[in-house]
Amino acid sequence: RNSFVMLPLALSLPEPWRAAIVVIVFQSLVELFGMVAYLRWLPRLIKNTH
């Protein structure tokens, strides 16, 4: 998504801005693991409410 659009731009930044790459990759990992957790949790929630 947006973080994958920003990653090539961050890679072209000068050396003092290299921490931005870590932030962008970390954000992508948080979104990925959050989505996996959500997809595992939501069916259980729906099954328990019906």
Q: So where are the chain's domains?
A: 2-49
Q: Are 24 and 6 in contact (CB under 8 A)?
A: yes
d(CA 32, CA 48): 25
Tracing tokens 């947006």 back to the chain, one arrives at: 2
12-41 tens-digit pLDDT: 999 999 999 999 999 999 999 999 999 999
Task: Report which of 6, 48, 3 is spatially closest to residue 26, judged by C-alpha positions.
Answer: 3
Model confidence at 1, in pLDDT bands (50, 70, 90)?
low
Model confidence at 2, in pLDDT bands (50, 70, 90)?
confident
Give the model's pLDDT for residue 44.
85
pTM: 0.70
Model confidence at 50, in pLDDT bands (50, 70, 90)?
low
